Amino acid sequence: MTALSPRRRGPFHRQRGAWWLFLLPSGVVLTGVMLFPLGYAFWLSLHNYDLGSGSRDFIGLGNYAELLGDERFWNTLLRTVAIVMTAVSLEFCLGLMVAYGLYRLTFGVRVLNLLMFLPNIVTPVVAALFLRWIFIGRWGLVSGLLISWGIFPPDFLGDPVWARVTVVLADAWQFTPFMILVLYAGLNTVDQSQIEAAQIDGAGVWTLLFHIMLPSIRPLIVFVLAIRLMDAFRFFDTLYVLTAGGPGTATETITLYTYALAFRLLQVGKACALGVLTLVCVAMLVAVMIRVVYRREKGAF
Amino acid sequence: MRGRWISQLSLFVLLAGFTAINLTPVVWGFMTSIKQPVDAFAVPPRFVFTPTTEFHWQVWIEKGFWHFLLNSAVISVGTVIISVSIGTMAAYGLSRLSGGASRGVLFGLLAMRMFPHILLAIPFFVLARILGLVNTYPAMILALVAINQPFTIWLMRGFFVDVPHELYESAEIDGCTAWQVFARIALPIVRPGLWVTALFSLLLAYNEFLFALVLTGPDTKTLPVAIAEYGGEDLNYWSLSAAAAVGIMLPIVIFMMALQRHLVRGLALGAVKG
């Protein structure tokens, strides 16, 4: 931005210090289409805004007070946390085992890795339909097979407990491949000399994994867990198609509840307040996880 | 030696079994799409049947799913063109910023990536309604560009970081302007990365559901919304929606084959690399 510009043909053609201009277009879009709507949502959350009738009154923190005093909010939050925690733990354990298996395998790794990755990039709505045809009562693949083996199948999507199991399995089906991919990439970065030294000391397969490899990719593990937790917390597509929160509210997560408030009951103000509360929950989660990494690994990035 | 061979083989069988279970829903969906309803509803499930492609024809041509494919194509290609252009510029700018400033911006972007999308979808809808933009392409494209920006910038930055800064400096000494350094020096080097980023943005835009559900209408409905709304009254419903689902998945399978070497970089490192 100093006057070192021999040819003045607009800001981009200055010689030095013009790097920040490259950030401008993206910055304008992010400010206008992301930060501004976010601020607007916060503003709306302070109103009793009914989209159907169009009535809109400023009520301060009224929506928040109402939500925090509402049993349905707490139930939904607890249910979401339970589903997310179960799903992500399952994905991590399974993902680690498969990634380590791939790491030790000496042939066919690339083909397997590619094939097992498909569920993760299939359109989530389509993935949910595929799963519906597996789990739906009577005609689904699982029920059909169980019936043909003479076992009376539970109603996987209609029974509250089984529906929650199915939802966790659905999430695991879609996102274990992501865990595998990241953890496999991580395992491959572990220092080879360290592994050889441990093997000479007679470390077994599992000692090697848990005492040598996992500690050295700890920052990556925390990071991928954080990403998965946050993504799982806001996940919507699969649930919307697979169970739509049902039966009753057995699988209704906080995102589905927000959607229902805003677009079915048209209580936009209250829905925005719920969205802000979700953001606060997620931010707290991230803050805790980042602290966990940074306390020990200064400069992990 | 033989023991090692046996353990490798059993490991392979175990992992192949896991892969097979993983692919079962997809394969089953494909089988449903080429079954007559009488086979699709059979208990116990039928694995041997006379295949038919009539439902693929019916759903894509007669039920008008080609129209939604067109909408999806317009919206995702529009998104990719805008998002990758401005995202690449931003990533280049970031790669040349000083460490502290760029780290701040990157954390900000990461935070934006983590916003609950529903919290953005509500104000988007209210604003689009006020501006009369519901059921138009621009509203949907703008929304997708914004939510894809953090990912695009992170991914592209990874490619720019690998470019040696001496190249820029020597170009500057030779009298290149800031824009010329970007367009003539940096861009050609990261061109492979540009393709990878474009394809991943395309995938994100093509798969997106929540914003499409809220912002699109009868004229602009994308494939995920169309198939999610597709009604179940029809007796042939299963076969038809399975045929639609398989058709929606097809470009993604092609995408996966095309990108297999970059899958790790795009998904793992794009999300994780600092």
Q: Is residue B1 part of a domain?
A: no
Q: Which fold has domain A71-296?
A: MetI-like fold (1.10.3720)
Tell which wins on pLDDT, B179 or A300: B179
- Which of A237, A244, A210, A235 is closest to A96 using CA atoms? A210
The strand pairing partners of B238, in sequence order, are: none
Integer Cα distance of B223 and B59 in angstroms: 12
At A128, the pLDDT band (50, 70, 90 cuts) reads very high
Most confident residue range from A229-238, A291-300, B203-212: B203-212
CB pairs under 8 A between A and B: 277
The strand pairing partners of A56, in sequence order, are: A49
Disruptive mutation site among A121, A147, A182 for chain B (greatest number of B CBs within 10 Å): A121
Q: What's the mean pLDDT when you consider all of chain B?
A: 86
Q: What is the pLDDT of residue A230?
A: 84
Residues 32-71 in B contacting A (C-alpha not used; CB under 8 Å): 32, 40-45
Disruptive mutation site among A4, A30, A253, A301 for chain B (greatest number of B CBs within 10 Å): A30
Query: What is the rounded average pLDDT of the residues A158-177?
Result: 92
Integer Cα distance of A220 and B86 in angstroms: 29
Torsions phi, psi for B49 (to 5 deg):
-165, 170
Q: Do B242 and A19 touch (CB under 8 A)?
A: no
Amino acid at A193: S
Query: Closest to B214 (Cβ–Cβ): which among A16, A148, A263?
Result: A263
Residues 120-149 in B contacting A (C-alpha not used; CB under 8 Å): 120-127, 142-143, 145-147, 149
Q: Do B149 and A29 touch (CB under 8 A)?
A: yes
Q: Is residue B89 part of a domain?
A: yes
Q: Do B272 and A224 touch (CB under 8 A)?
A: yes
At B107, the pLDDT band (50, 70, 90 cuts) reads confident
At A216, the pLDDT band (50, 70, 90 cuts) reads confident
Residue corresponding to tokens 């803050």: A287
Q: Is residue B259 part of a domain?
A: no
The strand pairing partners of A268, in sequence order, are: none
**Is residue B211 predicted with pLDDT exceeding 70?**
yes
Q: Do A268 and B272 touch (CB under 8 A)?
A: no
Kindly state the DSSP code that residue B175 receives in the 8-state scheme: T
* pLDDT tens, position by position, B87-97: 999 999 988 88
* Lowest pLDDT segment from A14-23, A61-70, B137-146, B153-162: A14-23
Q: Which domain does B182 fall in, by range? A: 64-229
At B274, the pLDDT band (50, 70, 90 cuts) reads very low
Q: Is residue B273 part of a domain?
A: no
- Cβ–Cβ < 8 Å for A58, A39: no
**Is residue A177 predicted with pLDDT exceeding 80?**
yes
Q: What's the mean pLDDT when you consider all of chain A?
A: 85
**Is residue A2 predicted with pLDDT exceeding 50?**
no
Q: Which two tokens stand for residue A64?
A: 């928040």
Whether A148 contacts chain B with CB within 8 A: yes
Q: What is the pLDDT of residue A247?
A: 87
Q: Is residue B248 part of a domain?
A: no
Q: What is the pLDDT of residue A170?
A: 94
Q: DSSP per residue over B24-71, as a string?
A: HHHHHHHHHHTS-HHHHT-SSPPS------HHHHIIIIIT-HHHHHHH
Q: What is the pLDDT of residue A198?
A: 86
User: How far does A160 lie from chain B, in Å, by closest CA?
Assistant: 22
Cis amide leading into B123 (omega within 30): no
A5: left (phi over 0), alpha (psi -120 to 50) or beta: beta
At B267, the pLDDT band (50, 70, 90 cuts) reads low
**Is residue A20 predicted with pLDDT exceeding 60?**
yes
**Is residue B49 predicted with pLDDT exceeding 70?**
yes
> Domain count of chain B?
1
* Lowest pLDDT segment from A65-74, A151-160, A291-300, B213-222: A291-300
SS (H, E, C) chain A: CCCCCCCCCCHHHCCCCCHHHHCHHHHHHHHHHHHHHHHHHHHHCCEEEECCCCCEEECCCHHHHHHHCCHHHHHHHHHHHHHHHHHHHHHHHHHHHHHHHHHHCCCCHHHHHHHHHHHHHCCHHHHHHHHHHHHCCCCCHHHHHHHHCCCCCCCCCCCHHHHHHHHHHHHHHHHHHHHHHHHHHHHCCCCHHHHHHHHHCCCCHHHHHHHHHHHHCHHHHHHHHHHHHHHHHCCCHHHHHHCCCCCCCCCCCHHHHHHHHHHCCCEHHHHHHHHHHHHHHHHHHHHHHHHHHHHHCCCCC
Disruptive mutation site among A106, A116, A130 for chain B (greatest number of B CBs within 10 Å): A130
Q: What is the pLDDT of residue A3?
A: 43
Q: What is the pLDDT of residue A62?
A: 85
**Is residue A10 predicted with pLDDT exceeding 80?**
no
Whether B31 contacts chain A with CB within 8 A: no
CATH number, position B72: 1.10.3720.10
In chain B, whose CA is at the least distance from the CA of A255?
A: B118
